[in-house]
Amino acid sequence: MKTTTLYRPVGEKEMVLILESNFKKFPPRLEWQPIFYPVLDESYASEIAEKWNTRDEAGNYLGFVTQLQINILPRMSEQEIIMSCGCRQKKLDKFNQAIIGSIEVTNVFIGNDFRKSENTEIENLILKLKNET
């Protein structure tokens, strides 16, 4: 098996669920998110987190960029990797099993309408990420 790095932008609700899994898995899709779709490029994930998540009230106007390593089949092209990872709920469990180690959080973007999180771990994560930049 070989590995590849993927990125996934998430809002506050998903980040809380990732925290609750001890950074081991992505949560079941939220009601308005039918497809789980990671990307290969951190700058693209950052663009989504900054331009979309920071304007989303449901995610408390926060955009986190997560990074993960997964096992993949040898000789898969980048397009095949993305196509196989973009999945509906029934395949998400299989995807989570392919994660190597822990999901990391590499950046956070904060929208103008952000309200202090009720979750202390989220607030601590924001402070940590902002102090690293």
The DSSP secondary-structure symbol of 26 reads P
Would you say residue 132 has pLDDT above 90? no
Total-model pTM: 0.88
- Rounded CA separation 14/53 (Å): 11
Tell me the per-residue pLDDT of 28-60, one tens digit each, with 9 for 90 and over. 777 776 677 888 899 999 999 999 999 999 899
- Rounded CA separation 11/126 (Å): 12
Which residue, among 42, 34, 45, 55, has the nearest Cα to 9 in the 3D structure? 45
- Rounded CA separation 128/133 (Å): 9
Which residue, among 65, 110, 63, 84, has the nearest Cα to 4 in the 3D structure? 84
Model pLDDT, residue 28: 79
* DSSP symbols for 34-81: --B--BS-HHHHHHHHHHTGGG-GGGTTEEEEEEEEEEE-TT--HHHH
Model pLDDT, residue 35: 72
- Rounded CA separation 69/119 (Å): 26
Q: Which of 42-56, 62-76, 102-116 has the lowest mean pLDDT?
A: 62-76
Model pLDDT, residue 126: 96
Classify burial at 81, counting beta carbons within 10 Å of its beta carbon; exposed 0-12, middle 13-18, buried 19 or more: middle
